[in-house]
Chain A
Amino acid sequence: MRVTLQEELDQLEAALQEEGALVLRALRGCLNALEQSDVELADEVIAFDDEVDDAYLAIEEGIQSLLARQTPVAVDLRLVLAILHDNLHLERMADYCVTISKLTKLVQDVPHDQTLLEGFEEMGQRAEEMIRVALDSFRDRNAARAESLVDLDELIDRANRRVVGHVLSLGGDPALREWGLRMIIVSRCLERIGDHAVDIGEQTAYLVSGDFREFTDASHGPGTTPRDL
C-alpha cells in the first residue's frame, strides 16, 4: 500500500471540494448582488475570485508535484486527470461569477425588469444545484448521478433560450434595452456554469469507467440547430 500517494490523492480531492464550496459562495454572492443591485457585494465577489484562483493554483501545483514524484497509474492516474480537469472547470465557473458581478456594476443606474431578474434567481438556483450534484457525485463515484446533470442542464439551457425573446419584448426604451443586452450575457454565464458542471460529471464517469465519453454529442446532437445555441 502506497500510504503517501493515497494521502496526497485524498488531500487533492479534499482541496477540490473546498474549491467547489468557494465557487458556490461566489455564485450566491453574484446572484444576490444582481438581484439587489448591490454594487459593494459585486465588488466583493470580484475580489473573492483571488481566493478561487489561489485554490486552483494550489491544486495545479499539487498535481504537478504528485505526477513528478509518484507516477500514479490506473485508477489513481484517472483520479489525478479528473481532478486536473475539474479544477479548471471550477475556476472557470468562478470567472463567470466575476463577469456577472461586473455586469451588475455596469447596470446599476439603468432600469431593471423584475420578471427577468426573478428568472435569473431561478436559473442561479439550478446552477447551484448542478454544482452540488457535480461535486457530490464525484465524491461518491456515482456515475449515474453524474449523468443526471444532463437533465438539469437542459432546464438551464431552456431558460437561457427564453431570455432573448424576453429582452426583445422589453420595448424601445434605450436604457432598458441596454440593460436587456447586458442581461443576455448574464444568462449566458449561468448557462455556461451549467455546462461546466456537466463536464465535471463526465470526468466522474471517466474516473469510474475508464472510458471517456461526452454525455451529449454537441457536434451532432440536438444542440446543432441555431435555435439551440
Chain B
Amino acid sequence: MVMSDMESAPAAPARIAGVDEKILAERAREAASTRRDVLFDVSRLTVSYADVPALKGVSLEIYKNFVTAFIGPSGCGKSTFIRCFNRMNDLIPSANVDGTILYHGIDLYGPEVDSVEVRKRIGMVFQKPNPFPKSIYDNVAFGPRVLGWKKDLDARVERALRHAALWDEVKNRLKASAYSLSGGQQQRLCIARCLAVEPDVLLMDEPASALDPISTTAIEDLMHELKREYTIVIVTHNMQQAARVADMTAFFSVEVDEEQDRRTGVLVEYDATPTIFTNPGDKRTEDYVTGRFG
C-alpha cells in the first residue's frame, strides 16, 4: 500500500523547495534562449576548386542567436565552408558551390540575390586584423558611408564601438590611425566595422589565433555578449575556444583518396558543444578532441 501511494504521490520538490517565481521566470528565459530557430539551412553542400571538391555533402542547420563553431584539422574545409555563408567564394574564379544554403528560407545562391547585400547582412572577421589605413572613426564609418547612411553617423560609430567593447579605450582618440591600436584592439575595431552596418550574422574565421591570451579572452567575452543580438559562426583551431564560446559545434575531417591524391573535407558530427566535448557520437570526433588524432 505504501509503495503504490508513494508512486502516485505528486513530485516532492513542490513541497520541499516551494515554488519560486524568480526561478520559474529564470527557467522560462533559459527555455527561450535554448529554443532553436533555424537561420541557415544547409543542404548537401559541395564546394569545388577547379572541379576538385574541397568539401563534400555538408548538411546542417545554424540557429539564430547561437554561437556555432567549426573545428577540425587543417584542410578539412572549415574555412571554405564558412566563406559560403556570405558568398566569399564567389570572389575565387575557380570555385563552384553545389547544394543549397537557405538564409531565412531564401536561397543564398539564388539568381535574384545580390551578393553585396548578402555581405552587408552577413559580416566577416578574419584571422589577421585588417583595418583600413584610416582613422579609427573612419574605419567604423566606412560601411555606413558607402551605404549612404549619413544621418547620426557619430552615434552609429559610437554604438558599434561600444558593442565591440572598444569604445572606452578609443573614445578620446577617434581621429588616430587604426594602426596605432594593438592587435587585439584592431580585431575588435574590425568587429565594430562589421557591426556598424547592422548585420544579422557575424562570421569569424580564426578571429583570435593571432592574438595574445588577454585579447583572446576579450574577443571570447565579446562573442558571448554579441550573441544576444547577432548569430555568430566561428572557425577555430583552438578546441578549448570552441568549448568555451560555442553553443553548437561541428567537427569536420579529411577524407583522403590515395589513388587520386585528393583530400576532401567532410562533416563528421554536429551537436551541442557539451555533447561534442563529453560524449561525442563518432570515434573520429573523440580521437580529435582528445588529441589522439592521426
The chain A residues found within 8 Å of chain B, CB to CB, are: 1-2, 5, 71-78, 210-211, 220, 222, 224-226
Task: Specify which of A72, A224, A225 is in contact with B290 (CB 8 Å cutoff).
Answer: A72
Closest CB-CB distance, B43 to chain A, in whole Å?
29
- Which residues on A sit within 8 Å (CB–CB) of B240? 71
Is A73 in contact with B278, judged by CB distance below 8 angstroms? yes
CB < 8 Å neighbour of A74 from B2, B6, B7, B278: B278
Q: Which A residues are CB-close (under 8 A) to B214?
A: none
Instruction: Please tell me if the beta carbons of A73 and B277 are within 8 angstroms of each other in the complex.
Output: yes
In the complex with contacts A1-B291, A72-B290, A222-B279 CB distance below 8 A: no
B interface, how many residues as a size bin?
10 to 19
When C-beta atoms are compared, the residue in chain A nearest to B11 turns out to be: A219
Q: How far, in angstroms, from A225 to B5 measured CA to CA in the complex?
A: 10
Whole-angstrom CA separation of A162 from B242 in the bound complex: 56
- Interface status of B102 (Cβ within 8 A of chain A): no
Q: Is B243 an interface residue (CB 8 A)?
A: yes
Partner of A76, one of B6, B285, B290: B290
Q: CB within 8 Å of A: which of B268-294?
A: 277-280, 285-286, 289-292
Verify if B3 is at the interface (C-beta below 8 Å from A). Answer: yes
Q: Is the CB of A75 within 8 A of B2?
A: no
Q: Which of B3-42 contact A (CB under 8 A)?
A: 3, 6-7
Cβ–Cβ contact B3 & A211, under 8 A? no
Q: What's the nearest-Cβ distance from chain B to residue A6, in Å?
A: 9
Partner of B2, one of A2, A5, A225: A225
23 contacts between A and B (CB under 8 A): A1-B291, A2-B292, A5-B291, A72-B290, A73-B239, A73-B243, A73-B277, A73-B278, A73-B289, A73-B290, A74-B277, A74-B278, A74-B279, A74-B280, A74-B285, A74-B286, A75-B290, A210-B279, A220-B6, A222-B3, A224-B2, A225-B2, A226-B2
In Å, the complex CA distance between A177 and B219 comes to 71
- The CA-CA distance from A224 to B6 in the complex, in Å, is 8
Nearest Cβ on chain A to B206's Cβ, whole angstroms: 20
B3–A2 touching, CB < 8 Å: no
Contact, CB under 8 Å: A77 / B277: yes
Give residues of chain B (91-130) contacting chain A, Cβ–Cβ below 8 Å. Answer: none
Give complex CA distance A78, B240 in Å.
Answer: 17
Q: Are A210 and B278 interface neighbours, CB within 8 A?
A: yes
Contacts of B280 in A (CB 8 A): 74
User: What chain B residues lie within 8 Å of A2 (beta carbons)?
Assistant: 290-292
**What CA separation (Å) do A77 and B279 show in the bound complex?**
9
Known A222-B3, A224-B2; contact A78-B278, beta-carbon cutoff 8 A = yes
Roughly how many angstroms separate A78 CA and B277 CA in the complex, as a whole number? 10
Known: A73-B243, A74-B279, A220-B6. 14 other contacts (CB 8 A): A1-B291, A2-B291, A71-B240, A73-B278, A74-B278, A74-B280, A74-B286, A74-B289, A78-B279, A210-B279, A211-B279, A220-B7, A224-B2, A225-B3
Q: In this complex, what residue of B is CB-closest to A71?
A: B240
Give the chain B neighbours of A225 by CB distance below 8 A: 2-3
Q: Looking at the assembled complex, report how far the CB atom of A27 sits from the nearest CB atom of chain B, in whole angstroms.
A: 33
Smallest Cβ-Cβ distance to B286: which chain A residue: A74
Query: Which partner residue on chain A sits nearest B6 by CB separation?
Result: A224
Q: Which residues of A contact B2 (CB under 8 A)?
A: 224-226
Max chain B Cβ within 10 angstroms of own Cβ: one of A71, A72, A73, A77: A73
List the 6 closest pairs (A to B, CB-CB), nearest first. A210-B279, A2-B291, A73-B277, A73-B289, A74-B286, A74-B290
